[in-house]
Structure 1
């Protein structure tokens, strides 16, 4: 504004000098300044008054200049956001490339580890996972986590707000830190929602202690801030400069959008790999109780398990019957934590085996549900028993607590009382059919 005012004052002075007429030398008298007599009659000086039209034009020009300056500044800010989004896109492309390379290396390692070509597929190579939200593929856990990450990176451009919120929930493993991070981001949004015109709430200093401890180290937070309307800028701070996330002043007016982003952030669900049961069906076999357990079933390596078992046997021999209750409980807890997964085979009355993979932390209700999903007559009650005849109920504890890890064979039987009624109404043939036809088509030798 000062430059504009100075510009107009200078123009005003030029107009006054032009009205004063031609100049003359100081040594000349006023009468000799001109050789020709003046034929004009001198008029009395008129009193100068402000022209309202001139004043209005001047104000309009000043306002137009101010608008041009603001437009230029806004364009510069927009350019900054475009540059930052381009940088973010480039970083995402590099991350996707890294994830693809990691998957390719994993596939090559698996291919190179196969030393013998078998006539049929192995009973169980390793634990596999799926995530229905991103597609039908079944992969190892690390590969599935990479696939989920890549899916989110691909989705960001189309749905940045939702995708960034899901990133925060999905890509960070520590639930407590995720909770604190989200609470902090919600507070930033609330400050703008409740004070949309106050500039101090538009800024988040990147080196701020709270921001560094609760937000900066979490994956997906930068994507969320940019999607919300923040952009990174260098601003004066104390005796120097600092980087700030600055919210767009126009977007601050859209309170409804900010409320929607807050809801998305609070209620977004993480994308998690789900254990694939790897359902298989085998003909009756005397090898039903023989298992080859993959290394990823263990929380420790098989070699460490064997070493620990030897150590415990030696300690038990030394102590004899002097082991205390606390010592026995400690050993039991160690046993429960030893395995991550368990391989269960369900043997039907005709000897056919149904196999599935479970987490050790799952309960018997998961096993019952698994069996029920694969039955033709899933409406008939049944029960499962161990090899010693122990009847297992749906409400029983975890598979680890029931000592079914890392592998076990359970026997299937229809509920005898209900079976009689069903057989009487529909014939004995109903009791002879167990598994669904599409499963029986894939039956193979163990």
Structure 2
């Protein structure tokens, strides 16, 4: 309706201007008495000076009221204009917020240099270890294959324990593993309670529960054989069927079966653990310069930049107003951009201790990493960002803005330092890091 009213108002205004006649320049000298020609016998739009009368009191009040209505009308903004202004304000606020975040991250962790400057390769690739199997360090896929080969090689010597570990390690779906373990445990419970009952010592291979929960998983056949079941073909109603069968003598050893059940229930999967790739650097002005491998990102750096550009263009082109829920989803996406984080911890003497972490590890992992590399591991300390913010141990690295790289400072607990000074007469000046680490110190260029 407002658009229609404006249309007719404009038409009416055009008609008035046509009746007034031709226009004049502001600096043109004209005779006011002849400045109001009529058109088509129409009345002049204003009278000459001598005939003008002073407005009455009622006219003045009516004029004031009209001015008030006009000013109020001008203050009323078109909804489209309001939306556009709001959109512009939101975009500007987001731009400023993004700039602030980038500045904070740049000052706290040198992320600006990550993109703009090259530096010595601090972490060429992500490596994994498995302390249970020795000191071997390999890329993730190779380490998983190494674990598989290790278990298969151990199967002949320790079939019961090894096959239980195979079930938990080779199958990644925890829900399916749980269902499998519960089903096998139920079979063993029935045999333990009724060792002489033949029906409990036989498992039909085509049984629905066995076929769906046990048979598809790796390691189950090896465990069933280790328990004492044998693969047999039995004729049932003149039809040959496959069964897993346990002999009565084997079933009577209930203590052994109880032990095997416990082994199956308590076994833990053997998983590759991220190797911290510990490095130590002498004090350097290049501490905040990182060269981050592509493995640190869920997508490539180029794709990240393109995605950011697409989002900006979409906002500018379509004027999309983002709700709180949309912004929260974008924040979650932002966090999921990184797989790993490279953390450098600056000691009070300036030496840098570097380690690699998963982006969603708790910050407590950094504290543990530092503590196990200190000469005095009992000494309480705080980890502080470049902007002076303390790291809370219960948050994760990505949420706290430490991915993909950051530098944090170690600060000793002041009260403890004060007590040491009181007892020893001076502050402890020992090397913070273990000597074997300091021996490996290198220089950042």
TM-score of the pair, normalised by structure 2 = 0.69
- Corresponding residue for 1:157? 156
Please give the alpha-carbon distance, in whole angstroms, between the structure 2 residues aligned to 1:297 and 1:415: 33
TM-superposed CA distance for 1:193, in Å, is 1.4
Residue of structure 2 in register with 1:430 after alignment: 428
Rate the CA distance shift 1:263–1:304 in 2: closer, same or farther, 3 A. same
C-alpha displacement of 1:217: 0.8
Q: 1:419·1:431 contact (CA, 8 Å) conserved in 2?
A: no
**How far apart are 1:273 and its partner, in Å?**
1.5
SS at structure 2 position matched to 1:289: coil
Q: Is the 8 A contact 2:160 2:223 kept in 1?
A: yes
Counterpart position of 2:268: 269
Q: Structure 1 residue 384 and structure 2 residue 383: aligned?
A: yes
Alpha-carbon distance change, 377 to 257 in structure 1, aligned in 2, over 3 angstroms: closer
3-state SS of the aligned residue for 1:355? strand
Over 6 Å off, 4+ runs: none
- Contact 1:383/1:393 (CA < 8 Å) preserved in 2? no
- Summarize deviations over 1:170-191 as a string: whole Å, max 9, x none: 1111111000000110111122
2:297–2:340 Cα contact (<8 Å) kept: yes
The answer on 1:418 being equivalent to 2:416 is yes
What's the offset of the Cα at 1:318?
4.7
TM-aligned CA deviation for residue 250 of structure 1: 1.9
For residues 141-197 of structure 1, give each alpha carbon's deviation from its aligned partner in whole angstroms, at most 9, with x where no partner exists: 111111111111121111111111111111111111000000110111122112212
Question: In 2, distance between residues paired with 1:308 and 1:244?
Answer: 57
Aligned residues: 325
Deviation of 1:398 (Å): 0.8
- TM-aligned CA deviation for residue 429 of structure 1: 5.7
Which residue matches 1:313?
312
Superposed, 1:171-190 pairs within 5 Å as 171-190=170-189
Question: Unaligned 5+ residue runs, structure 1?
Answer: 1-120
Contact 2:121 2:291 in 1 (8 A): no
The 5 A counterparts of 1:205-244 are 205-244=204-243
CA contact (8 A) 2:314 2:320 kept: no
User: What does residue 96 of structure 1 align with?
Assistant: none
Matched, 1:398 2:406: no
- Could you state the TM-score of these two structures normalised by the residue count of structure 1? 0.69
Distance (Å, rounded) in 1 between the aligned partners of 2:307 and 2:223: 47
Q: Deviations over 1:252-278 (max 9, x none)?
A: 121111111111111112212121111
Larger relative contact order (CA 8 Å, sep ≥ 6) = 2
Q: Following the alignment from structure 1 to structure 2, what is the Cα–Cα distance between the partners of residues 155 and 187?
A: 27
Q: Secondary structure at the match of 1:328?
A: helix
Q: Which runs of 5+ in 2 are unaligned?
A: 1-119
Shift of 1:132: 1.3
Judged with a 3 Å threshold, the aligned counterparts in structure 2 of structure 1 residues 157 and 312 are, in CA distance, closer, same or farther, namely same
Which residue of structure 2 aligns with residue 335 of structure 1?
Answer: 334
Stretch deviating more after TM superposition (421-430 or 202-211): 421-430
Residues 1:134 and 1:314: Cα distance change in structure 2 (over 3 Å): same
User: Relative to structure 1, is the Cα distance of residues 186 and 422 closer, same or farther in structure 2, using a 3 angstrom cutoff?
Assistant: same
| Cα contact 1:128–1:276 (8 A) shared by 2 | yes
CA distance in structure 2 between the aligned counterparts of 1:417 and 1:378, rounded to whole angstroms: 16
Q: Encode CA deviations 1:311-349: one digit per residue, 9 max, x unaligned.
A: 233344457793211111001111122212111011123
C-alpha change, 1:206 and 1:253, in structure 2 (3 Å) is same
Task: Verify the 8 A CA contact 1:193 1:259 in the aligned structure 2.
Answer: yes
For the 8 Å contact 1:382–1:413, the answer to whether it is kept is yes
CA offset at residue 424 of structure 1? 3.5
In structure 2, the residue corresponding to 1:244 is in which secondary structure? strand
Give the 3-state SS of the residue equivalent to 2:245 in structure 1.
strand
- Could you tell me whether the CA contact under 8 Å between 2:232 and 2:245 is conserved in 1? yes
Query: Does the aligned pair in 2 maintain the 1:160–1:224 contact within 8 Å?
Result: yes
Q: Which residue of 1 aligns with 2:245?
A: 246
Asked if the contact 1:385/1:411 (under 8 Å) is kept, the reply is yes
